[in-house]
C-alpha cells in the first residue's frame, strides 16, 4: 500500500483516510495509468469511483473513511476498479453488532485551547449575548422590537451598544409555534429546546416573553437557566407597548454586567462542535465531510465533544454507529430512535429509504453504508459516547449523536439547545446559514463554489479535490479555525449578522 | 316576544340576534325578577345561561345567534331557564341536511364603500406595500436585511421611505420551512400560500428570494402574480451580500411607481374580511363574536365577502354550515374537509372532540351546536357560498369557508393568501396579533381587558355585556370600522408595526 499521506498531492486518487484500502478518482482515469508508488489503474475508472490501493482476498473488509463500506465479493488486485462487481455488504447491515468496533481511547492531548467566557457555574461560552426568547409566536413581534432597540443601524450611524463593546448583541429568537398544538411530546420538545437556549453559556442573561394564554406557558419553564432570567407576559404587562418598554429597560439595566466579563484561556476540551451538512453535492463525501471528520477526531483527541445528528441520513446504516457505541445502552438508544423514525415516517406516508439510487451508483457509491458514510464522515472515527434526543443536553465528551431531522435550521437549533458552542457546516451547493448565539463556520466542498460565494464561505475544502491538500491537512486547518472561532474570530455569517431567523425548533405534531 | 332591540339596554338579558327565542343572562338573575316587556324570570338563572323569550311547545326550534341550537324537549314558558332539562338536539347533528336552511338572498345594498387601491387588473387593495417573499428559511435573513434597508429607525431619526409617503412599507415575510420536506401536499400547500401573497393586491410589487437548492424551488412559482415580480436566488447571485445589494437596488428603482398610486372610492362589495377569534374567553360567544356576525351580515348585504375558517372549532357541528350551503357541492366539500381532519387527527393521535365539557355546561352552553356557534357566530347567518382549502383563492362573494387550523397566525396567513383584505380578530384574553400586508382590527370581548390593553385593542365589544349597546349596534360600529380600516385608518397593531413575524404558512407534513 502506498504512503497515501505523502503521495496524495497532485495525484489522480484522493485517499480519504490513512487506513483506507481504496482511493477515489479525482477525475476519470484512463486504463493503464501508472501512479506514484507503483499503482497501475487496470481499467478505465470514472470520476468519484473507487480504485483498490492494496490487494484484497474475497471476504476482506474494504475501507473508506477508515471504515468498513463492505467486503470483497471476489479477489481484488491493486489498481482494480472497485464497485458492484467485486464489493458487497453480505449480512453486514442486518446486525447492529453494538460495540463490535469499539476502540480503547488514546489519552487526551493537551495544550490547545481558546479564549472563552467562563460563566460563574463553570460552563464555557464562545460568545457573550443577551437573549430574548419567546414562548409563542404571539410574542414574536414584541421580542423583535425589544432586540431592535439595541441594534446598530449602519445607514443611520447609530449604535445603542457603543458603550458595551464586550456584549456581542441583544438577540431575539422567535418561532411560529407555542400554541395551536397538543400538550404531549410536541410541547415537551419545544420546551426542551427553549430550556437549552435559556441555559446556554453564550447568553449572559435571558428574558423570556409570553403572551399569557398560550399552550406553552412561561410558568415552570427555564428554571435553573442563566442568572437574572426574567419572565414577562404581554397580557400581564398590559399590552405590547408596555412589555417592550419594560423589557428594554430591564436589559439596559444589566448591560454593564455582561460588558464586564472577559475572555480567558480554556482548554480545547471545552469545544462542543455541532456537525452538519446542508446543500450537499457529489463532493461533500470526498472533501469537506471527511476533512471535518479529521477535525472531529482532533476535537475528541483533545477531550472535546462533537455532536452528529441528521437521523434520516443515518437510516439503514445505523450499524456504522452502533458498532462504535461505547456501551450497550448507547447502541440500543440509537436503534430506538431509528425505530421511532420508522413509525413516524410510516404514519406520514414518507419514505426514508436511503439505498443508493442508480444515480448514486453511476457516481461511484456502491453500498448504503458508503452513501451514509458520506454524511457520517463528518464525525470522524471515534467511539459513540452518547445518544440524546433532540435538544437534550449533551453531557458526555467525545462523539454524541443527537436525534433529529436533517433540515439545516431545525437540526442546528437542536444541537445548540444541546449545548454546542460552535457549528461546523459543510456545503456543496452553497448554504448561507448562520446561527445565534453560537457561531457557524461554513466549509465549501469545491473551489468554484467557494470563489463564487466568497462572502459566505469560511474554509475551502475544494483544495482536496484540486490536489493541493490532503484530507488530514485540511482537517487540521478546520480544527485550528474552530478554535479561533470559539475564541472570538468572527465567521462570515457573523460578519453579516445571520442567525436569528434561522432559529427553528423542531415541530413534530399537527397544528390545530 | 319583547322588542329586544329596544329593550336590551340596561337589561339583565343579552339578546344576541333579533330572531332569538332565548336571551343570555348578563349576570345571575334572581327568581321572580320582572324585566321590561313583561317577561318574568321564573327561577334563578346563573350568568351566561339562557332564558326563554317566548313560549316553546315541545319540538319547537330554539334559536340563539338567530340559528337553531336545538329543540325544546318539553314545553317551555316565557321566562323559563333553558338548559339540558328542556333543550336537546335529537337527530339534528346526524344529518348534514345540505341546503335545508338556505335563504333567498336579498338584493345587495349600495352606497357604502372605502378608499382603496384599484390595481390595473381590477383587484382592490387596502394597503400599498412592496413585498419580499422567500421560498425557504435559508433566504430569510437576506429577505429581512433587504426590508431593513427601507425601515424607519425612530431612535436614529432615519426614514429611507421619506420621499415615498404613499408606500406603506417594504415588508419581508419569512418562514421556517421550504426544505427538509416531502414534495407532495405539504409543498403544494406552501406554494399555494406564497402564490396567494405574491398576487395579493395589497402588494404593488413583490420580490421572491430563494437559496437555489431548496425543495421549494422559485422556478414555476408566482406566475401571474403582481407586476414587475422579480426572482433571485442567493446561489445564483453569488452569496448573501450580493443578493441583498441587488434586491435593494431593484426596489429603490421601482419605489416611485407604488408612490404614484392613489386611493379611489370603491364599493363595500370589495371588502374581503378574514374572521378569526383567538385567546377566547367565556364572553367571546356573547359579545364580540355575535357582534362581528352582525357586521359580517352587513358586509354580505353590501355584496362583500367574509372568510370563516378554524375547521377544528367547527368539528361535530358542521351541520350548522352545511344547512346553509348555497349548493350541494359546497356542502359536500365542507363534509370532505371534516373527514380529512378526522383522519389527520387520528393519524397524529390528537382529539378534536368539541362536545360541551362539564365546565361549558356550568357556564350555560347546552349543546355542541351552541358551543360551536360561539365561534361560528362571527360569520353571521348568510348562505355558505364557497368552501376552499387553505390558501385557495376565495372567488365567490358572500360567506366563504376556508379549511385550516384554528391557530391564529396560521389561520390568518391562509385567509390573506385566499385574498382577505382586512382581518377582524375577536379576543377575550387579549391577543396582540397583527398582520401584513393586510391590516388586523382587534375586537375585545370585555371592557376590563379592553382598558388593560388599550394600546392593542381597536374596538370594545364589552359594551354589550355592560348594557351600553346592543349586538346589532355594535355590529354596525364594527362594519364602519372595517370600512374605515380598509380605507387607510391605521389599526392599533399597524401603529406598532406588527405583522411580519406573524406570517406562518400551515405546515402539515413532517420535517425530515
Ligand atoms: Ca421522546
Ligand atoms: Ca443535512
Ligand atoms: Ca418595519
Ligand atoms: Ca388537498
Ligand atoms: Ca381561533
* Ligand 5 centroid from CA B375, angstroms: 8
Characterise A158 by phi-psi region: left (phi > 0), alpha (psi -120 to 50), beta (else): beta
Contacts of A506 in chain B (CB under 8 A): 511
CB contact under 8 A, A405 and B155: no
Q: Per residue in B348-406, pLDDT tens?
A: 888 877 778 888 888 899 988 898 889 999 999 999 999 999 999 999 999 999 999 99
CATH code at position A239:
3.40.470
The answer to whether B276 and B431 have CB atoms below 8 angstroms apart is no
Instruction: Identify the helix (H) or strand (E) that includes residue A82.
Output: strand A81-82
Q: Per residue in A353-408, pLDDT tens?
A: 777 888 888 889 998 889 888 999 999 999 999 999 999 999 999 999 999 999 99
Contacts of A440 in chain B (CB under 8 A): none
Cell of residue B496, nine digits: 406598532
CB contact under 8 A, B138 and A433: yes
**Least CB–CB distance from A240: residue in B144, B180, B456:** B456
Beta strands B50-52 and B67-72 are unpaired
**Least CB–CB distance from B456: residue in A160, A239, A500:** A239
**Least CB–CB distance from A512: residue in B145, B175, B406:** B406
Instruction: Summarize the confidence of residues B288-312 as an average pLDDT.
Output: 97
Confidence of residue A61 (pLDDT cuts 50, 70, 90): very high
State how far the Cα of A452 lies from the Cα of A469, in Å rounded to an integer: 20
Q: Where are the alpha helices (DSSP H) in A82-222?
A: 140-148, 185-198
Cis check for the bond before A303: say yes or no (omega within 30 of 0): no
**Least CB–CB distance from B512: residue in A182, A406, A496:** A406
State how far the Cα of B22 lies from the Cα of B120, in Å rounded to an integer: 50
Q: Is residue A194 part of a domain?
A: yes
CB contact under 8 A, B240 and A405: no
Residues B330, B365 within the same domain: yes
Ligand lying nearest the CA atom of residue A511? 5
| Nearest residue of chain A to residue B278 (CA atoms) | A213
Confidence of residue B224 (pLDDT cuts 50, 70, 90): low
Instruction: Identify the helix (H) or strand (E) that includes residue A245.
Output: helix A240-254
Total count of residues recorded for chain B = 512
Domain boundary among B259, B290, B309: B259
For residue B5, the model assigns a pLDDT of: 38
**Least CB–CB distance from A239: residue in B175, B453, B500:** B453
**Least CB–CB distance from A137: residue in B155, B312, B501:** B501
Identify the three-state secondary structure at position B221.
Answer: coil
Characterise B220 by phi-psi region: left (phi > 0), alpha (psi -120 to 50), beta (else): left
CB contact under 8 A, A350 and B510: yes
Of the listed ranges A86-95, B171-180, B206-215, the least confidently predicted one is A86-95
For residue A3, the model assigns a pLDDT of: 40
Q: Is residue B436 part of a domain?
A: yes
Q: Which residues contact B85 (CB under 8 A, 6 or more apart)?
A: B73, B74
CATH code at position A19:
2.30.130.110
CB contact under 8 A, B511 and A506: yes
Residues A274, A233 within the same domain: no
Cis check for the bond before B437: say yes or no (omega within 30 of 0): yes
Which one is predicted more confidently, B349 or A451? Answer: A451
Residues B141, B44 within the same domain: no
The number of CA neighbours under 13 Å toward the Cβ of A160 is 19
State how far the Cα of B405 lies from the Cα of A509, in Å rounded to an integer: 13
Instruction: Summarize the confidence of residues B150-160 as an average pLDDT.
Output: 83
Give the 3-state secondary structure of B434-486. CCCCCCEEEEECCHHHHHHCCCCCCEECHHHHCCCCCHHHHHHHHHHHHHHHH
CA distance A105 to chain B (A): 33
**Angle at CA A131, nearest 5°, toward A229 and A147?**
120
CA distance A64 to chain B (A): 27
Instruction: Summarize the confidence of residues B39-57 as an average pLDDT.
Output: 95
Contacts of A502 in chain B (CB under 8 A): 137, 140-141
pLDDT at A1 over 70: no
CB contact under 8 A, B432 and A496: no
Contacts of A347 in chain B (CB under 8 A): 347-348
| Nearest residue of chain A to residue B137 (CA atoms) | A502
Instruction: Summarize the confidence of residues A433-452 as an average pLDDT.
Output: 98
State how far the Cα of A286 lies from the Cα of A267, in Å rounded to an integer: 30
Instruction: Summarize the confidence of residues B211-223 as an average pLDDT.
Output: 85
CB contact under 8 A, B176 and A175: yes
Contacts of B211 in chain A (CB under 8 A): 279, 430-432
How far lies B477's CA from each of A224, B93, B443, B461, in Å?
50, 34, 11, 10
Instruction: Summarize the confidence of residues A214-240 as an average pLDDT.
Output: 83
Residues A226, A285 within the same domain: no
For residue A228, the model assigns a pLDDT of: 59
**Least CB–CB distance from A279: residue in B213, B431, B502:** B213
Q: Is residue B511 part of a domain?
A: no
CA distance A324 to chain B (A): 25
* Ligand 1 centroid from CA A185, angstroms: 7
The number of CA neighbours under 13 Å toward the Cβ of B323 is 15
Ligand lying nearest the CA atom of residue B425? 5
Residues B255, B277 within the same domain: no
Domain boundary among A59, A88, A117: A88
CB contact under 8 A, A409 and B176: yes
Identify the three-state secondary structure at position B362.
Answer: helix
Q: Is residue B323 part of a domain?
A: yes
Cell of residue B165, nine digits: 409617503
Q: Where are the alpha helices (DSSP H) in A77-210?
A: 140-148, 185-198
Residues in the 5 Å CB sphere of ion ligand 5: B 277-278, 310, 406
Residues B473, B431 within the same domain: yes
Contacts of A160 in chain B (CB under 8 A): 155
Contacts of B504 in chain A (CB under 8 A): 137, 176
Torsion B144-B146-B149-B151 (CA) sign: negative
Chain mean pLDDT for chain B = 92
- Please give the radius of gyration of chain A, using alpha carbons only, rounded to the nearest integer: 24
Residues B168, B279 within the same domain: no
For residue A491, the model assigns a pLDDT of: 98
CA distance A433 to chain B (A): 6
Residue with cell 380578530: B425
Residues B310, B357 within the same domain: yes
pLDDT at A7 over 50: no
* Ligand 3 centroid from CA B147, angstroms: 8
Residues A136, A249 within the same domain: yes
* Ligand 2 centroid from CA A312, angstroms: 9
CB contact under 8 A, B407 and A511: yes
CB contact under 8 A, A430 and B213: yes
Contacts of A140 in chain B (CB under 8 A): 501-502
Contacts of A456 in chain B (CB under 8 A): 239-241
Q: Per residue in B412-456, pLDDT tens?
A: 999 999 999 999 999 999 999 999 999 999 999 999 999 999 999
For residue B8, the model assigns a pLDDT of: 46
Instruction: Summarize the confidence of residues A115-121 as an average pLDDT.
Output: 94
* Ligand 1 centroid from CA A440, angstroms: 27
Q: Which residues contact A222 (CB under 8 A, 6 or more apart)?
A: A133, A194, A195, A198, A199, A206, A208, A229, A231
Beta strands B384-388 and A61-64 are unpaired
CA distance A56 to chain B (A): 38
In what order do the strands lie in the sheet containing B81-82? Answer: B13-14, B22-25, B50-52, B81-82
For residue B11, the model assigns a pLDDT of: 79
Q: Which domain holds residue A17?
A: 4-88
For residue A349, the model assigns a pLDDT of: 83
Contacts of A137 in chain B (CB under 8 A): 408-409, 501-502, 504
Contacts of B161 in chain A (CB under 8 A): none
For residue B226, the model assigns a pLDDT of: 63
* Ligand 2 centroid from CA A408, angstroms: 6
For residue B338, the model assigns a pLDDT of: 93
* Domains of chain A: total: 3
Chain mean pLDDT for chain A = 92
Beta strands B50-52 and B22-25 are antiparallel
Q: Is residue A80 part of a domain?
A: yes
**Least CB–CB distance from A213: residue in B279, B498, B510:** B279
Q: Per residue in A247-256, pLDDT tens?
A: 999 999 999 9
Residues B453, B327 within the same domain: yes
Q: Is residue B142 part of a domain?
A: yes
Of the listed ranges A199-213, B82-96, B101-115, B383-397, the least confidently predicted one is B82-96
Instruction: Summarize the confidence of residues B8-19 as an average pLDDT.
Output: 79
**Least CB–CB distance from B180: residue in A406, A452, A498:** A406
CATH code at position B184:
3.40.50
**Least CB–CB distance from B429: residue in A212, A239, A242:** A212
Indicate the burial class of B104 (C-beta count within 10 angstroms; 0-12, 13-18, 19 or more). exposed
Give the 3-state secondary structure of A17-50. CCCCCEEEECCCECCCCECHHHCECCCCECCCCE
The answer to whether B385 and B400 have CB atoms below 8 angstroms apart is yes
Confidence of residue A96 (pLDDT cuts 50, 70, 90): confident
* Ligand 4 centroid from CA A506, angstroms: 24
For residue A9, the model assigns a pLDDT of: 43
Residues A426, A303 within the same domain: yes
For residue A415, the model assigns a pLDDT of: 98
Q: Is residue A69 part of a domain?
A: yes
Helix axes A408-417, A185-198, angle to 10 degrees: 60
Q: Is residue A47 part of a domain?
A: yes
Contacts of A510 in chain B (CB under 8 A): 344-345, 348, 350, 405, 508
Contacts of B235 in chain A (CB under 8 A): 429-430, 452-453
pLDDT at B156 over 80: no
CB contact under 8 A, B497 and A352: no
Instruction: Identify the helix (H) or strand (E) that includes residue B22.
Output: strand B22-25
Residues B205, B291 within the same domain: no
Instruction: Summarize the confidence of residues B13-40 as an average pLDDT.
Output: 92
Amino acid at each position: 500500500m502506498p504512503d497515501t499521506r505523502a503521495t496524495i498531492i497532485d495525484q489522480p486518487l484522493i485517499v480519504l483516510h490513512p487506513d483506507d484500502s481504496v482511493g477515489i478518482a479525482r477525475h476519470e482515469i484512463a486504463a493503464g495509468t501508472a501512479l506514484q508508488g507503483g499503482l497501475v489503474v487496470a481499467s478505465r475508472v470514472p470520476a468519484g469511483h473507487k480504485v483498490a490501493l492494496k490487494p484484497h482476498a474475497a471476504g476482506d473488509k474494504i475501507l473508506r473513511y477508515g471504515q468498513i463500506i463492505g467486503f470483497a465479493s471476489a479477489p481484488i488486485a491493486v489498481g482494480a476498479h472497485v464497485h458492484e462487481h467485486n464489493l458487497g455488504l453480505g449480512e453486514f447491515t442486518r446486525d447492529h453488532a453494538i460495540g463490535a468496533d469499539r476502540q480503547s481511547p488514546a489519552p487526551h492531548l493537551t495544550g490547545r485551547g481558546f479564549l472563552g467566557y467562563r460563566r460563574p457555574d463553570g460552563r464555557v461560552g464562545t460568545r457573550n449575548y443577551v437573549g430574548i426568547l419567546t414562548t409563542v409566536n404571539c410574542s414574536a413581534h414584541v421580542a423583535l422590537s425589544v432586540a431592535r432597540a439595541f441594534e446598530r443601524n449602519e445607514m443611520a450611524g447609530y449604535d445603542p451598544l457603543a458603550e458595551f463593546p464586550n456584549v456581542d448583541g441583544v438577540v431575539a429568537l422567535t418561532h411560529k409555534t407555542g400554541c395551536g398544538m397538543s400538550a404531549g411530546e410536541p410541547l415537551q420538545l419545544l420546551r426542551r429546546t427553549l430550556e437549552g437556549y435559556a441555559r446556554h453559556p453564550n447568553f449572559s442573561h435571558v428574558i423570556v416573553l409570553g403572551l399569557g394564554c398560550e399552550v406553552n406557558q412561561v410558568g415552570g419553564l427555564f428554571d435553573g437557566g442563566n442568572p437574572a432570567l426574567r419572565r414577562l407576559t404581554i397580557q400581564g404587562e398590559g399590552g405590547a407597548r408596555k412589555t417592550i418598554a419594560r423589557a428594554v429597560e430591564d436589559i439596559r439595566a444589566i448591560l454593564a454586567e455582561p460588558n464586564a466579563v472577559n475572555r480567558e484561556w480554556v482548554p480545547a476540551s471545552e469545544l462542543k462542535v455541532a456537525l452538519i451538512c446542508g446543500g450537499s453535492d457529489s463532493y461533500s463525501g470526498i472533501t469537506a465531510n471527511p476533512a471535518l471528520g479529521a477535525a472531529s477526531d482532533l476535537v475528541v483527541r483533545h477531550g472535546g465533544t462533537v455532536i452528529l445528528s441528521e437521523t434520516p441520513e443515518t437510516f439503514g446504516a445505523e450499524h456504522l454507529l452502533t458498532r462504535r457505541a461505547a456501551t450497550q445502552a448507547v447502541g440500543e438508544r440509537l436503534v430506538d430512535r431509528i425505530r421511532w423514525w420508522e413509525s413516524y415516517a410510516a404514519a406520514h406516508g414518507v419514505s426514508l429509504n436511503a439505498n443508493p439510487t442508480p444515480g448514486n451508483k453511476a457516481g461511484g457509491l456502491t453500498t448504503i453504508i458508503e452513501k451514509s458514510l458520506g454524511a457520517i464522515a463528518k464525525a470522524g472515527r471515534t467511539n459513540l459516547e452518547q445518544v440524546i434526543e433532540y435538544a437534550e443536553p449533551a453531557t458526555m465528551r467525545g462523539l454524541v449523536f443527537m436525534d433529529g431531522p436533517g433540515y439545516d435550521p431545525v437540526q442546528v437549533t437542536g444541537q445548540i439547545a444541546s449545548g454546542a458552542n460552535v457549528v461546523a457546516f459543510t456545503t456543496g451547493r452553497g448554504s448561507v446559514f448562520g446561527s445565534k448565539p453560537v457561531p457557524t463556520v461554513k466549509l465549501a466542498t469545491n473551489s468554484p463554489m467557494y470563489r463564487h460565494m466568497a462572502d459566505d464561505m469560511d474554509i475551502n475544502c475544494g483544495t482536496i479535490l484540486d490536489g493541493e491538500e490532503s484530507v488530514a491537512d485540511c482537517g487540521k486547518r478546520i480544527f485550528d479555525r474552530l478554535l479561533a472561532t470559539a475564541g472570538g474570530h468572527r465567521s462570515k455569517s457573523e460578519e453579516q449578522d445571520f442567525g436569528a431567523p434561522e432559529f427553528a425548533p423542531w415541530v413534530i405534531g399537527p397544528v390545530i
